[in-house]
Amino acid sequence: MSEEKEKVMMCLKKRRVKPVGVLCFMTCSAFAVLAQNGSFERLDAIINSELKETNTPGAAVVIVKADRMVFSNGFGRANVETNEPATAEMLFRTGSMTKMFTALTLLSLVAEGKVKLDEPVGKYLKGLTPRIALITFHLLLTHTSGIRDEGRPYGPHDESALRDAARNIKDDYLFTEPGQIFSYSNLNYVLVGAAMEEIAAKPYADSVSERLLKPLGMTRTTFRPTEAMTWPLAQGHNARGDAQPAVVRPFTDNVAGWPAGFLFSSANDLARFALAFLNRGMLDGKQPIAQTNIGAMSAASVDIPGIPVKYGYGLRVEYIRGVPIVGHGGAIPGFGAQILMSPEHRVAVIVLTNKSGARLEKTVETALEMMLPLKTKPEAKPKPSLTIPDEEMRSLVGMYSHSPRQFFEIVVQQGKLFLKDEEDLLPLQKIGVNRFLMRQGNAPEPEDVTFVTGKDGKPAYLHINGRAFRKAANEKK
């Protein structure tokens, strides 16, 4: 047997998994068919290469097609101190991917008539300040509430902390009026989760488990660290540049943020969610997710300024090289996550990593290319730098604030436009109407910066990295 064939056979042995209900995972012989044309062998190579390139200790990768999981494997190390190998059955923290499960659980309560999306959160969660109490569930789920973003990886472990945290979101957390603009905020989902406790009359984690996780057969998925630690668990890592990755200690946990980004899950468990999602809520001959709820969360409810992406309920909605895709990413100290699903082609790609914010973009792109009829990737060309008229520069100048500690200033110096971040002056390159690029430090790619105009046609917000910053009113001279 040739060396290359031996490698393929070893990979097939690693990927042999047990059937799960009537939606069986692909058998070893089926893998062999794909392995013969080099598809999965190429994906293996990309994953291993990207782990080294991004200095990520380990990852779990799963691909779902139609009614089965066609690829499932762990790569690298779950823990750099023990060298334990990562597997697709291990638990990772999923970060903001959690928002999908919070949204779907609330939608199940909506389907039962226990709450309406256009109702104010204060109808169910008492003790909120007046303006916060009036914000509807629709605005919270779509990040159009006007509440600033805030997320703390460490906090209390007592589950009563969730409602306490929600009631601590005061009127001064509103950086703009509700319904004006998309601005990603973890606090939106904190309010949703806390209200769910009142609506369902039980702890948030129990509602998600009973209404979604257990019906889906996601037997290892949990919010509770003391339960997660009873299963094989990947350790989170930090790594700067080429430095040796180090285990994050203590392990991150904050009950106050559970609904926004603290779910533990495995790639194999998440495959069960994807299978149900791609099959109109059906799994194992049952209907654990209502088809109408899948449609509701997938609807492109609001625009994200500056990029061709919309947001539904806990899901991004976009086109990737001509194919409609829904999904969500996740980043939390020690971990990164990504799930992308094509309902039209019934394909999903799931990637979990154990390094802060790592998402293995090349791996995801390769997997999508293997499984979907993507259009040819356009040749990367530098975006043309357009001239910025003096009048436009003057209109953009000013302070833009998201919170008392999060703000930018736009300034003009020597006839050029800059974003001032503390002491740093970052040049802005105009690439379109109200659209600019900004390169920060040694970042490999520039960031998109978009200015959003108000009803008067004048700049009202600066939008960057999914967050909106409101322009301060001009002072009278």
pLDDT in tens, 313-350: 999 999 999 999 999 999 999 999 999 999 999 999 99
| Domains present along the chain, CATH in parentheses | 1-378 (3.40.710.10), 390-471 (2.40.128.50)
CA atoms within 13 A on the CB side of 272: 28
- Residue 227's pLDDT is 97
CB 319 within 8 A of CB 300: no
- Residue 32's pLDDT is 31
- Residue 473's pLDDT is 82
- Residue 474's pLDDT is 59
CB 427 within 8 A of CB 415: no
pTM confidence score: 0.90
- Residue 378's pLDDT is 86
Q: How many whole angstroms separate alpha carbon 276 and alpha carbon 279? A: 5
- Residue 24's pLDDT is 36
399 forms beta bridges with 409
- Residue 379's pLDDT is 84
What token pair was written down for 428? 């802005």
Question: What are the residue ranges in the chain where pLDDT is below 50?
Answer: 1-38, 475-477
